[in-house]
Amino acid sequence: MENVIEEVVAMPRIGDKAPAFKAITTQGNLDFPKAYEGKWVILFSHPADFTPVCTSEFMTFAKMEPEFNALNCDLVGLSIDGLYSHIAWLRTIKEKIEYKDMKNIEVKFPLIEDITMEVAKKYGMIQPGESSTKAVRAVFFIDPKGIIRAIIYYPLSLGRNFDELKRALIAMQTADKHEIATPADWRPGDAVIVPPAGSCGVAKDRMESEEEGIKCYDWFFCTKELPLDKI
């Protein structure tokens, strides 16, 4: 009986430096994440070109790209198909595909060629339980220092929720800026959570505080208002 040796690739984790790579894309050569120093990046993968779910996702990302750019965030796509396939697919999207209120959609962000699956493996985008030759729908949020801040994985069949991707980005940026946390279903303009007190004295002071906008339900659960114009 032959011994089968399976390649084991450690998936990057939240808090890790984003694995570096150089690649060819539909927008030229890319040195990642060096090319995006000082910016947030959403790096996302899809299983294959010329597939319907991916097509709807790329059209949605392309339509929303100005919204992400306004949040100091660039988009970078990846699949294990080749550059010429990418170009043909994106041209087809622009010339032929209509979805919801979208048509004549031009994808301007880079789409990485990854025929060797080198990048997909570095980022754990190949999930053997789904497919050994297709990248699952992975999403990596990478901050301006090149640190992975959030990771979301979807199976091959499940299209992403783009409102959630934008909400997650804004929530992380807000948490960094104001040193707070965001509660379940938080939306910009909602109350935020004040970090728990680190000592009994601080907890007592917080419970007795009359600071405007802060409401404590117990020592460990305090919220404060954070208006939209402060985000």
Instruction: Show which residues are catalytic.
Output: 54
**Contact of 114 with 23, CB cutoff 8 Å:** yes
For the annotated binding site for substrate, the residues are: 137
Strand 192-194 relative to strand 221-224, pairing: antiparallel
* Nearest C-alpha neighbor of 221 from the set 188, 187, 183: 183
For the beta carbon of residue 113, count every other beta carbon within 10 angstroms: 22
* DSSP, res 130: T
Of all helices (H) and strands (E), which one includes residue 161?
none
User: Nearest 5°: CA angle at 113, between 162 and 39?
Assistant: 50
